[in-house]
Amino acid sequence: MPYIPHTPDDVQAMLQAIGADSIEDLFDEIPAHLKAGHGLDALPEGRGEMAVTRLMAERAEQDRFALSFLGGGAYAHHIPAAVWEIATRGEFYTAYTPYQAEASQGTLQVIYEYQTLIARLTGMDVSNASVYDGASGLAEAVLMSLRANRKSKSRKVLVPDALNPRYRSACEAIVSNQDVELVSVPFCTDAGQTLVDSLSPFEGEDYAALVISQPNYFGSLEDVDALTDWAHANGMLVIAVTNPTSLAILTPPGEWGEQGADVVVGEGQPLGVPLSSGGPYFGFMACKKKHVRQMPGRIIGRTVDMEGKQGFTLTLQAREQHIRRSKATSNICTNQGLAMTAATIYVSLLGPDGLASVAGHCHANTQKLADKLCAIDGVERAFSAPVFHEVALTLPQDADTVLARLAEKDILGGLSLAKDYSMKNAILVNSTEVHTEGDLDLFAQALKEVLA
């Protein structure tokens, strides 16, 4: 019996202790006609680890290797071997949420270190212990801003069109049930940026918050200082959506404008978490100290034990569902602990300089790639704004067709902007430190052939 250790003698001894004749007797409180009968006939027979491993290895093999320049919110980075070797140690991998603090000091200290790393990267005062991912994290931040902005009575939040459309749609799906309205802010189609000018129609109106994405979906860098100051001048909170790698070299949201952002969220995946088909990743979430009681999710605090020794424990639990129930800040319970653990190890290995050079290479490679691709006839940058590690390009032909033909050559040459932005000929390409000069040339060569 896979993973069930009992011998027939064990089973007999247990039944005897219970005073039952058979295992079936233990289900005698269940109305008989509800019980099985169906026999689960459609299910396959069980197989051993060897057979299932082989099946899955063949499946994994089927997902053909390709040279990928896809980004759009998930990025390929080098992950030091130590990261997952340690994260998947049984002591981290098979522990539950650290409710019994004395028996969970390992996990608790890791979270405290993680909270510190995130606070320092984002320039904020406090961080929680992760939410599901960047997109759902934005939804949590939007809901949080409604609670935290005491001056506003609005259930509306300004969201730039240049935000990752996948964030927008997940956020919408989550917050719309509570009558929260996400109001679109257009971007400048020349620069590929959200300009303060385009905010003037919203001046004098009551919105709880303005979302600022740095970089935005097109990779463009926004004038975050001006946007932040505009929002604060108009009584709104600022929700920053950022890429954590970029924060090694870009101004942290805590220093945007005069007062800094109020809440910061983003996708933590670039910090040591594999692409893994979309998850598990983790959403990071940080805020100013004055808003901490409005933050969702677990938070760890440092304290002392009864002998005065340092220790770590869950704190501010009255915000959470297990205590506050219908009045909790969120329904989140299980979070993304293991991915967060991996990120803590990753950031510790790279340090401030290592992370800055990863960020630098991402930027430099993307610039180089854009130059190589733009050297092809008819290929141009779609926007004029400076970028971090992703760039929108216009092609002389239909983007979807070109991308499909590149895929036939096992090159995933970017994401089409046709569906989300009606930019039929535009693609979004990303490069990171994993690409060599040869990789970039291969892509350029292939694109040239496809366009010829």
Q: Which is nearer to ligand PLP, 66 or 101 (CB)?
A: 101
Q: For residues 18 and 26, what is the distance between their CA atoms, to the nearest angstrom? A: 9
Residue 198 CB, nearest approach to another protein (Å): 19
Q: Which is nearer to ligand PLP, 309 or 325 (CB)?
A: 325
Residue 93 CB, nearest approach to ligand PLP (Å): 16
How many residues appear in the chain? 452
Cβ neighbours around 41 below 10 Å, total: 5
Q: Which is nearer to another protein, 145 or 202 (CB)?
A: 145
Q: For residues 72 and 267, what is the distance between their CA atoms, to the nearest angstrom? A: 11
Q: For residues 186 and 279, what is the distance between their CA atoms, to the nearest angstrom? A: 30
Residue 201 CB, nearest approach to another protein (Å): 26
**For residue 429, what is the enclosing H or E element?**
strand 426-430
Q: Which two tokens stand for residue 365?
A: 């490679």
Compute CA 288 distance to the chain's CA centroid, rounded to the nearest angstrom: 20
Residue 22 found at the interface with ligand PLP (CB under 6 A): no
Q: For residues 80 and 411, what is the distance between their CA atoms, to the nearest angstrom? A: 25
Residue 100 found at the interface with ligand PLP (CB under 6 A): no
Residue 56 found at the interface with ligand PLP (CB under 6 A): no
Residue 334 found at the interface with ligand PLP (CB under 6 A): yes
Residue 83 CB, nearest approach to ligand PLP (Å): 24
Residue 333 found at the interface with ligand PLP (CB under 6 A): yes
Query: Between the CA of residue 351 and those of 51, 275, 345, 346, 435, what are the distances in Å?
Result: 42, 22, 10, 9, 21
Q: Which is nearer to another protein, 376 or 403 (CB)?
A: 403
Q: Which of 362, 447, 311 is nearest to 71 (CA)?
A: 362
Q: Which does 183 bind (CB under 5 to 8 A by kind): ligand PLP, another protein, none?
A: none
SS3 category, 99 = coil
Q: Which does 1 bind (CB under 5 to 8 A by kind): ligand PLP, another protein, none?
A: another protein
Q: Which does 422 bind (CB under 5 to 8 A by kind): ligand PLP, another protein, none?
A: none
Q: How many residues bind ligand PLP (CB under 6 A)?
A: 2
Residue 299 CB, nearest approach to ligand PLP (Å): 16
Residue 95 CB, nearest approach to ligand PLP (Å): 14
Question: On the CB side of 439, how many CA atoms lie within 13 Å of its CA?
Answer: 19
Q: For residues 314 and 97, what is the distance between their CA atoms, to the nearest angstrom? A: 10
Residue 73 CB, nearest approach to ligand PLP (Å): 23
Positions touching ligand PLP (CB under 6 A) are: 333-334
